[in-house]
Structures are given as structure tokens and as C-alpha cells.
Amino acid sequence: MARRLYVYYRVPQALLAATVAAVRQVQTALAAAHPGLQTELLRRPELRDGEVTLMETYAGPLSEAVFAAITQATSALPQPRHSEWFQPLE
């Protein structure tokens, strides 16, 4: 069954543009290195205490090796990062 990884975190609004650019660069490189990997970057529409909540999503071939590559590639992105796994209902 195909699992999906959701990773969310908050960034100050002033760092939003730089963070989005960094995440897109990382996700593009991951997708190129792992054929079939699907990535997306979302944001919560409202601000909370001057911060924006971002969510990265990963779907496709999420083997342990791919998950390790995601973890390594995103280690320089804002922390703390909260990860949750979901799978489609059959």
C-alpha cells in the first residue's frame, strides 16, 4: 500500500520566500534522484504569531532508502519538523 509522508513546521513570515525557494530546490533534487517520487509544498493561509505553517508532502516509492534521503536532504531546512505518515483507505 502506498504511504504518504507529511512534514510540517513553522517559519517566520520574513523568511517565507527564502524557505520556499530552499524547499523547492530540495524537492526538485529529490524527485530527480528518485523516479516516481511526487512532492508538494503547501502553506496554511493564516499567520500565527507572525509565522507561517508550511507542509511538505511526499508520495510514491517511499522505501526506507528514499525516506533516509528525504531526511538527509531536508536536514538544513527549518526545525523542528513534524512528520506524519498516512496511507489511502482501500
* The 4-12 sheet, strands edge to edge: 38-43, 51-59, 4-12, 82-86
Model pLDDT, residue 1: 52
- Say whether 21 sits in a helix, a strand or coil: helix
Q: What is the CATH number of the domain that holds 55?
A: 3.30.70.100
| In the predicted structure, residue 90 carries a pLDDT above the cut 80 | no
Q: What is the pTM of this model?
A: 0.91
Return left, alpha or beta for 27; rule: phi > 0 is left, psi -120 to 50 is alpha, else beta: alpha
Number of domain units in the chain: 1
User: Which structural domain, as residue segments, surrounds residue 24?
Assistant: 4-86
DSSP codes of every residue in 23-79: HHHHHHHHHHHSTT-EEEEEE-SS-BTTEEEEEEEEES---HHHHHHHHHHTTTSSS
| In the predicted structure, residue 37 carries a pLDDT above the cut 70 | yes
Q: pLDDT tens across 56-87, in order? A: 999 998 999 999 999 999 999 999 999 999 98
Which residues, listed in sequence order, are joined to residue 56 by a DSSP beta bridge? Answer: 7, 41
Cell of 43: 502553506
Mean per-residue pLDDT over the chain, rounded? 94
